[in-house]
Every structure is written in structure tokens, then in C-alpha cells.
Amino acid sequence: MDFSADVRQIDGLAVIDLHGEIMAGADDALTSGFVRATTGNTGPVLLNFADVSYINSTGIALIVGLLAEARASDRRILVSGLTDHYKDIFEITRISDFVTMCDDEESAAAAAKA
Amino acid sequence: MEREPEVTAPPAAVEPVAFELSPTDPLMHYLQQAGGPVEIDKLKLDSPGLEQMRKADVALVVPLVSQGELIGVLSLGPRLSEQQYSADDRKLLENLASTAAPALRVAQLVREEEANIQARERYQQELRIAHLIQQNFLPREQPDIAGWTLSAFYRSAREVGGDFYDFIELDNGRIGVVIGDVTDKGVPAALMMASTRSVLRSVAARFDSPGTVLEHANELLCPDMPPKMFVTCLYAILEPHSGKLVYANAGHNVPYRRRIDCVDELKARGMPLGLLPGSKYEEKDVMISPGEIVLFSSDGIAEAHSTDGEMFGCPRIIDVVTHHASSADLRNEVLDSLHAFTGAEWDQEDDITMVVLDRLPYDASDFAASGEERLATFEIASETGNERAAMQRVVEVVEGLGIDPTRLDKLKTAVAEATMNAIEHGNHNDPDLPVTIEVTKRPRELRVAITDHGGGAQIPDETAPDIDAKLRGEQTPRGWGLFLIKNMVDDMIVTSDEVHHTVTLVFSLGGES
């Protein structure tokens, strides 16, 4: 399954909707989405995993790389839409320590304003 | 009445006097050259023997010479008639000596031969006893383990030998397997074999690591090892339930394992025992799967020669192992091949020892008895993305086991990650090298064994991923695979040999059926 990343704005929050499987080959689309989401603004970015069916260790590495970029520019990252399994993996890898974990887009939008 | 004949008392017996002549006594040389009877009074020699004879009142000495060698002397005191020995007397004695000397020589040889025979018989008897004692050092019977056939063969080149093998019962059902060879043959080697066996048994009871066992045995043996003698020895610990075999090798012949598609050598580095204090022993492990067989052997097989001087060699052993029929006894197959090569008149050059570990193939009754069930074995080509297919196939295989969705997700991730590692790192994305996946179920455990062709390479120490370091750019963002696997399963067993690398994922089924 291909991977794609769409970018939209909701109420000052850049949302990157991730679609498909995050694994080898997803890096260009993910990076491109992040660039589009962050160009011209310094606000928070929400990664929406609601349409992601699979993340492997390569995908985890891509997300960590993206977090490193966000950290370098002091940008806050929020995530939503993760299944329990991938929430668990984000906890195990401690990615959750560096993002704001939200159940859905609405709670993410609220958290972004907090 | 008839009168009894009058008995006349015999002349008083003359006590024979024995002399011991030193080979360096000048009298010896003189008598050898004399050519006839010699009057003692006329001799002027500085000879201890001559002094003895004079004191014993010897008047005449007749040399007994056979084939130029002085083999004795006839010593005569003065004549009872108090007359001198006449020329006739001397001639008579000379003739007597020339006749008696060869007969005496024959008698001496017969006596020497009888003594030799007695000594040989005594030695043979001692060897027979030594043989019996040595037989007692070898296991009288092989361990009886469900799902396995452990067997051994031992035949010394002489009455006693330097080869040995042993099965040592360890805790948790594990078995220590020993095969060794003391340099040299015969009694010295047998004595050292007995000592080594005792040392290994005592050390094996204290340590769980074969490398550590050999290391300690070496330290104990080094001080007492005679010059130019050492012991090659392989020590392995078999975990029958899982099939895991951990081994270390002190310079012994490499064992061979026959797998479904190949024969591989179970190599591990180490110096022979008794040579060098402080030696370290590399430790390796492999997983012996059902249907696989491991042959340990001594150099008496590989180094046997045919009548035209050609050596049997390791390739012929490998050939026998390769073509081994599962219904046959591998020991007999090796021996048949060896005897066909050496010929019927072969004089066995060295001790021959074999130990065979045969993990029996599964069948339905075995599964029923062991509670283990093989759910599936399949292969996938080493192409990127095929880990998804492997993952999906495992999901289908375990579908009826009632694993809850959360735990099933963990299993899926672990299988996919381990398969991805096998494709990328083990098989280097070579589509011709398959990844083999075997799924087995035990009463409370599911196992997924993922095997690639990445054996033989040193496995680098794993660096635990540190997200802080990764975010600071001090570590690559990658390197999560093994970390994820370990966190998804209850246990992960990694085994490797010269060819294959296997990661076995152990997944507790808990209350699931």
C-alpha cells in the first residue's frame, strides 16, 4: 500500500493527515508533508495517524527524524488517531515523551491551544 | 633271610660356589680369548673375579664360549686325589666345554624366552584389566530422551586408547556431551583420558557455559600434563526440549550437522586442553530442529589411510552425513564407508569414536506425546516488503488460537520486524536466499522461528536505541528493529551457525488455548 501525506489547517493548527503504511519508501512523502505544514508558520503540527494501518521500525525511524527536525526549530508536535498498539509502541520507544498524545483531532486542537 | 646290601656312604658333597663376574672384569676378556682351560694360579691379572676364585680355592677354569661369546665358566677346585690336572684332564674338559657351551646357550635362550612370555602375558593381562577399567569410564548406556536418539561408538586401536566420550546429566533435563582425544595411544593416553574425564565431570557440574567448563578444565589439567601430550575435546550442552545446542571446542574435530538442505560445520575456536594455561574458549550455539542430526567424531576416522596411503579425510565424512538416510544408523554408515575405503585388511591406526545426536522428525504421535504442534513451515523470498506477507501468513496460521487482538498486534510487529531483519541483514535482499519461518505451538507457548542465511558472521553488539541521543543527532534515527521485537514478545532466542541465523520469537499463550 502506498503512503501519502496531506496537509490542512484547522484553527491555526497544521494537520498532516497520514495515509497508508509508514515504512521504507514513505520518507519523501512524509518529509514533503512536514515541509508544507511548517513553511511560513512556527505553530504546532498535528500528525494524524487515523488512516495509518502499519508502522514498522523504519517508519518509527522516519517519525523520530521528523521529531528531531521539529525539536531543532522548537516546534511542538501533537499526534492523534493512533491505535492502541501504536500508542503502546510510541510509549515503549519514548516518542510519547516528545509529542502530545491525543485521542482524536478535536482533543488535539484543544491541546494545541493549551 | 636275605641280607640287605651294604650301603657305603657317598663322598662328601662338594658345595657349588657361584661367582659373579662383572662384564668389565679383565678376567672376562681373558677367558673369552683363552681357547681352553686356564689354571688360576698362573694368572696375573688385577681382577676382582680372580680374587674371588682364589679365595674359593678354584684351581682350574674352563671357559664356555658359544659363537665367540663367553656364556659361562666351569670352575673346578683341586683334584680330590691332590694331583695336578693332567693334559688329558684338560683335553677332556675342553671337549666337554665345546659340547656343553652350545647346549647351555640354547638353555639360556629358552629360559629367556620363557621369561619374556611370562612378562608379555602379565602385560597382556594388565592391559585387559586396563581395558575393562577404561570401558567403565565410558557411559554404559546412552541417555533416553523423548524426541531424540543419542548414540555413540568407540573402538580403540589398542587394548586401551586415548579417545573418550561422555554424557553428563545436568539440571533441567539438559545433557552435557563430551568427545575427546588424548594425543598418543596406549596406556599413557588411557591414564590421561581417565584424568580428563574426571576433571570435566567435576567442572561441568559447576558451570553452565561450555566455554567456561573447558577453560577451568584446562587450568586443572595444565600442571599435570606430561610433556608432548595434550587433549582435544569438544563439550556441548544440549537442551533437548528446545533443541538448543551450546558448544565450545578445545581443538577437537569439527562436528557436522545435517539440515534439510545442507551439512554445516559447527566451528568454535579454542586450544587443546593441557597446552596453555589461561586459554579462552569461543562459545557458539545452534538450534537443532526435528529431523536434523549432529555427528561428533575423532580423528581416527578422518585420518585413516587406504592401502595406497590416501587419507579418508573430512570430505568423505561430510559426504556420508549428506547422504545419510533417516532410517539408518549414521554410525554404521560412517563405518561402512570407512571400511570400504581402507579395505578388509586394515590395521586400525588410531582410536575411533563417534557421538550422534539425532533429533527425530516430528510425526503426529510425537506431537501428541510432547504437547508440541508444528502449525506451519513456509519460506518467503528475500525481497523488501515480503515481511508483510510473512506477518499475514502467521496471522492466518494462529487464527484459531484465540489470541486477543492486542497481543496479536504485538506478534505481528515482532514477526514483521524479525523477517525484515532476515531479508535485509541475513540474506542481503538476495531473492534466491529464502527466509524460512516455522510456527510451533506448545501447551502455553507459541514459537515463531525465523531463519536466514546470515550465519558465520560476527553478530555486532546491539546498541540500545536512545531517543534523546537520536533527537540530538548523536544516534541515527534507525535501529529500532530488535528493540521493538524484544518488547513485543516474552522471549527471543537467537542462534547461529556457520550458515544460518535463527531468531525464535517466544510468545506466551497464557490462558489462550
Among chain A residues, the shortest Cα distance to B411 is held by A85
Q: What is the CA radius of gyration of chain B?
A: 39
Q: Which of the two residues, B137 and A94, has the higher pLDDT score?
A: A94
Segment B394-417, tens digit of pLDDT: 999 998 888 989 999 999 999 999
Q: Supply the DSSP string of chain A, one letter for each residue.
A: ---EEEEEEETTEEEEEEEEEESTT-HHHHHHHHHHHHTT--S-EEEEEEEEEEE-HHHHHHHHHHHHHHHHTT--EEEE---HHHHHHHHHTTGGGSSEE-SSHHHHHHHHH-
Give the closest residue to B475 by CA, choosing from A94, A34, A64.
A64
Segment B265-289, tens digit of pLDDT: 999 999 999 999 999 999 999 988 8
Antiparallel, parallel or unpaired: β B244-250 and B231-239 = antiparallel
Q: Using a CB–CB cutoff of 8 Å, tell me whether A93 touches chain B.
A: yes
Mean pLDDT throughout A48-71? 94
CB contact under 8 A, A61 and B473: no
Is residue B117 located within the same domain as residue B169?
A: no
pLDDT for residue B402: 86
Is residue B331 located within the same domain as residue B370?
A: no
CA–CA distance, B292 with B324 (Å, rounded to integer):
11
Is residue B69 located within the same domain as residue B53?
A: yes
CA–CA distance, B383 with B385 (Å, rounded to integer):
6
CA distance A65 to chain B (A): 6
CA–CA distance, B96 with A89 (Å, rounded to integer):
114
DSSP state of B426: I
Q: Using a CB–CB cutoff of 8 Å, tell me whether A53 touches chain B.
A: no
DSSP state of B242: T
- Residue B376: give the domain boundaries: 364-508
Whole-number mean pLDDT of chain A?
93
In contact, B153 and B121? CB cutoff 8 Å: no
Segment B287-327, tens digit of pLDDT: 888 888 999 999 999 999 988 889 999 999 999 999 887 66
In a domain, B205, yes or no: yes
Question: Which one of B333, B359, B385 terminates a domain?
Answer: B359
In percent, the amount of chain B with pLDDT more than 90 equals 48
In a domain, B123, yes or no: yes
Is residue B201 located within the same domain as residue B306?
A: yes
What is the spatial order of strands in the sheet that A13-22 belongs to?
A: A4-10, A13-22, A45-55, A77-80, A100-101
Of A90-99, B14-23, B196-205, B392-401, where does mean pLDDT reach its minimum?
B14-23
Q: What are the two backbone dihedrals, phi and then psi, of residue B379, each rounded to the nearest 5 degrees? A: -120, 150
Residue B458 pLDDT class (50, 70, 90 cuts): low
Residue B92 grid coordinates: 677332556
In a domain, B4, yes or no: no
Among chain B residues, the shortest Cα distance to A65 is held by B477
CATH number at residue B496: 3.30.565.10
Residue B5 pLDDT class (50, 70, 90 cuts): very low
Question: Which one of B137, B168, B186 terminates a domain?
Answer: B137
Kindly list the residues from chain B whose CB atom is less than 8 angstroms away from the CB atom of residue A89.
413, 484
Is residue B143 located within the same domain as residue B282?
A: yes
pLDDT for residue A16: 96
pLDDT for residue B275: 94
Give the closest residue to B358 by CA, choosing from B140, B211, B144.
B144
pLDDT above 80 (res A1): no
User: Which residue type is seen at B285?
Assistant: D
Is residue B284 located within the same domain as residue B212?
A: yes
CA distance B458 to chain A (A): 23
pLDDT above 50 (res B10): no
In contact, B410 and B394? CB cutoff 8 Å: no
pLDDT above 80 (res B9): no
Residue A97 grid coordinates: 515523551
Q: Using a CB–CB cutoff of 8 Å, tell me whether A58 touches chain B.
A: yes
Is residue B230 located within the same domain as residue B336?
A: yes
Q: Which of the two residues, B13 and B392, has the higher pLDDT score?
A: B392
Q: Using a CB–CB cutoff of 8 Å, tell me whether B23 touches chain A.
A: no
pLDDT for residue B513: 39
In a domain, B2, yes or no: no
Burial B223-249 (b: 16+ CB within 10 A, else e): eebeeebbbbbbbbbbbbeebbbbbbb
pLDDT for residue B7: 46
The secondary structure of B477-489, three-state, reads CCCCHHHHHHHHC
CA–CA distance, B160 with A56 (Å, rounded to integer):
62
Q: Using a CB–CB cutoff of 8 Å, tell me whether A61 touches chain B.
A: yes
Among chain A residues, the shortest Cα distance to B408 is held by A85
In a domain, B222, yes or no: yes
Kindly list the residues from chain A whose CB atom is less than 8 angstroms away from the CB atom of residue B420.
56-58
Count how many Cα atoms sit within 13 Å of the Cα of residue B64 in the half-sphere of its side chain: 16
In contact, B395 and B388? CB cutoff 8 Å: no
Residue B11 pLDDT class (50, 70, 90 cuts): low
Is residue B303 located within the same domain as residue B381?
A: no
The total domain count for chain B is 3
Kindly list the residues from chain A whose CB atom is less than 8 angstroms away from the CB atom of residue B473.
68
Is residue B133 located within the same domain as residue B145?
A: no
DSSP state of B232: E
CA–CA distance, B362 with B374 (Å, rounded to integer):
8
Q: Using a CB–CB cutoff of 8 Å, tell me whether B464 touches chain A.
A: no
pLDDT for residue B132: 78
CA B223, B224, B227, B232 dihedral sign is negative
Residue B143 grid coordinates: 541417555
Question: Which one of B310, B338, B359 terminates a domain?
Answer: B359
Interface test with A, best of B383, B467, B474, B475 (most A CBs within 10 A): B467
CATH number at residue B103: 3.30.450
Q: Domain spanning A4-107: which CATH class is it, in words?
A: alpha beta
Q: Using a CB–CB cutoff of 8 Å, tell me whether A9 touches chain B.
A: no
Does the ipTM surpass 0.90?
Answer: yes
CA–CA distance, B342 with B158 (Å, rounded to integer):
18
In contact, B360 and B290? CB cutoff 8 Å: yes
A-B Cβ pairs (cutoff 8 Å, strict): 59
Is residue B351 located within the same domain as residue B382?
A: no
In contact, B295 and B255? CB cutoff 8 Å: yes
Residue B430 grid coordinates: 538476495
Residue B8 pLDDT class (50, 70, 90 cuts): very low
Is residue B206 located within the same domain as residue B338?
A: yes
Among chain A residues, the shortest Cα distance to B407 is held by A85
CB contact under 8 A, A85 and B470: no
Interface test with B, best of A54, A56, A74, A99 (most B CBs within 10 A): A56
CB contact under 8 A, A95 and B471: no
pTM summary value? 0.52
CB contact under 8 A, B480 and A93: yes
CA B315, B291, B448, B173 dihedral sign is negative
pLDDT for residue B400: 85
CA B429, B431, B433, B437 dihedral sign is positive
pLDDT above 80 (res B69): yes
Q: Using a CB–CB cutoff of 8 Å, tell me whether B477 touches chain A.
A: yes
CA–CA distance, B273 with B215 (Å, rounded to integer):
8
Burial B140-170 (b: 16+ CB within 10 A, else e): eebbebebbbbebbbebbbbbbbbbbbbbee
pLDDT for residue B366: 53
Q: Dihedral, CA atoms, B138, B143, B144, B150, nearest 10 degrees?
A: -80
pLDDT for residue B172: 87
CB contact under 8 A, A57 and B477: no
CA distance B443 to chain A (A): 26
pLDDT for residue B462: 61
Give the closest residue to B166 by CA, choosing from B186, B136, B123, B209.
B136
Closest partner CB to A89 (pick from B388, B470, B484): B484
Q: Using a CB–CB cutoff of 8 Å, tell me whether A71 touches chain B.
A: yes
Mean pLDDT throughout B488-496? 85
pLDDT for residue B432: 86
In a domain, B6, yes or no: no
CA distance A26 to chain B (A): 13
Q: Which of the two residues, B371 and B47, has the higher pLDDT score?
A: B47
CA distance B395 to chain A (A): 15
Is residue B178 located within the same domain as residue B243?
A: yes
pLDDT for residue B510: 66
CA–CA distance, B294 with B158 (Å, rounded to integer):
27
Q: Using a CB–CB cutoff of 8 Å, tell me whether B481 touches chain A.
A: yes
CA distances, B80 to each of B59, B164, B251, B372 (Å): 12, 72, 80, 105
